[in-house]
A and B are shown apart, each in its own frame.
Chain A
Amino acid sequence: MEEFVLIMRHEDGSKLASPEQMQSWMKQTMDWIGGIAAQNKFVAGTGLPFEDARVVRPNNVVTNGPFGEIKETIGGYIIVKANSVDEAVEFAKGCPVLQGEGNSMEVRKIAKGDGVH
């Protein structure tokens, strides 16, 4: 069993959702994570709110959020246990973020602390 991080990528993080949309999105996300947790494959995860986002660059340059300058931004991530990358991909397919056009999920294996990976 290995651990994978499933990263939710939004095409445009500055788009504002209505409270109703937010609530429905939250519910769907919880159902998605609940389904993974029910298989005892959920490790950890969190949403990353866009408010108070900062980008820090060399020479102490700090800007508000990544919006505008780069196209995609990260909305949250979860870490899952999976037997293979294919299983992790199956989990990622269920993420409600994919309902938004242009959004994507990035699946990455977590490096083991064994000095090899």
Chain B
Amino acid sequence: MKAIDASVSLQRYFSFMEQELIPHLFRTEFRKIATVLCKHFGIAHIEIAEDIASDTFLLAVETWTFKGIPENPTAWLYSVAKNKAKNHINRNHIFADKVASQIKQTASEIQETEIDLSDRNTTDSQLQMLFALCHPSIPTEAQIGLSLRILCGFGIDEIANAFLSNKETINKRLFRAKEKLRMEKVQIEFPGEAEINKRLETVLTTLYLLFNEGYYSESQDTVLREDLCSEAMRLTRLLMKREQTNQPMVKALFSLMCFHSSRFKARKNENGEIILYEDQDETLWDNELIAKGGYFLQQAAQGNKLSKYHLEASIAYWHTIKADTKEKWEAILQLYNQLLITEYSPIAALNRTFALSKVKGKEEAIGEAEKLKLTDNHYYYTLLGELYRDIDNEKSRSNFKKALFLAKTRTDKQVIQKKIDASK
């Protein structure tokens, strides 16, 4: 009996290690170690930082499994990472001394280097890294991928899963992006006062897309999707911790993320199928997040720049009120008008037309919708299908069918098929 007990508890112990403690520490500590080391070594050695951080966790799994978990696992990780970094520097130093003595780095300089894993430095390093990774020289999807890897501690598998791609593609993409950062000699630092606003917009775009990647991802992995969203929110919060970056548009983006994630539990059923807004059970909406979104939207109402995040957050705010009132749709229509004037996007054009139908009726909206001519977009035909419903059911159905033909993802096809079935 005893032997069985022991093996059961050992199993529990292993599963705790494997499923809870290590992944948790990995999530929270990998990024700190990786960014601080990368900042220390410079962006040219981003791989070394990644390797040391990975090696540290590998050693943790090996050691802790047999010797037990240390009293303070985080401190253990930091001290191992520091030692590994020092060893690396020493090895490099020997190399520099004996092989490439022309490299001007004195021994005293190297001995003085201290890897600083304090709270302040990890936060600053992560923010500076965020600016470095969102450098305009690399494409957006690589920016997101690198941010996920370095700043969120995601594995290549997870990134591939989130992008519905494969490991090889992601590896190549990240490799090319790192090469580019090296070539451009990108510094891990806060951009100067003059440049910060320009760069901040790229950073916010990346965070916005990172959030959307989680919110709209086709990946079946719910935990992964929620993680993507909460990582985007965490990084946005980091921006709000620093005076230079705690700007109204950052708060507006954070507010938008709060409003959206408040509906996380309500927007998919247990089979992972999407539940449309009007069919959602609003008792599943997270009121705390709604309140938070409201608070930050108010905080964002400063300065004289109305960003697209302000407009989108305001639209999201109105969607937290479920009742269909004239006031609500009038407000949403005006916000979409402004959003489109600020920046055109097909999805905003379609949503604006839907709001128009709520304010001015379907007939007028059909006229406006047909001018959009977004004939390669399945949402366009879905919208027309909705507008023609009860006006011309034959046209409604034929539009839904065109939408079904154009839809690519499983979820979209399911939603459209349901509309076709309901129209019979």
Contacts and interface: CB of A to CB of B under 8 A. Distances in A.
Given A38-B353, A42-B341, A27 B334 contact: yes
Contacts of B338: 30, 34
Given A27-B334, A31-B333, A34-B333, A39 B349 contact: yes
B187 to A, nearest CB: 36
A39 B333 contact: no
A27 B333 CA distance: 10
A38 B334 contact: no
A33 B349 contact: no
A35 interface: yes
Interface residues of A, number: 11
Given A34-B336, A37-B340, A37-B349, 13 more contacts: A27-B330, A27-B334, A30-B338, A31-B333, A33-B341, A34-B333, A34-B338, A34-B341, A35-B368, A37-B341, A38-B344, A38-B348, A38-B352
A42 B344 CA distance: 9
Nearest to A26: B334
A99 interface: no
Nearest to B351: A38
Contact of A34 (B352, B371, B373): B352
Nearest to B341: A37
Contacts of B334: 27, 30
Counting chain B CB atoms within 10 Å of each CB, the highest count among A30, A34, A35, A37 belongs to: A34
Ranked 3 nearest A-B pairs via Cβ: A34-B337, A37-B340, A38-B349
A33 B342 CA distance: 11
25 contacts: A30-B337, A31-B333, A31-B337, A31-B356, A33-B337, A34-B333, A34-B336, A34-B337, A34-B338, A35-B371, A37-B337, A37-B340, A37-B341, A37-B344, A38-B340, A38-B348, A38-B349, A38-B352, A38-B353, A38-B372, A39-B371, A39-B372, A39-B373, A42-B340, A42-B344
B174 to A, nearest CB: 34
Interface of A: 27, 30-31, 33-35, 37-40, 42
Contacts of B340: 34, 37-38, 42
A38 B380 CA distance: 12
A40 B352 contact: no
Contacts of A30: 334, 337-338
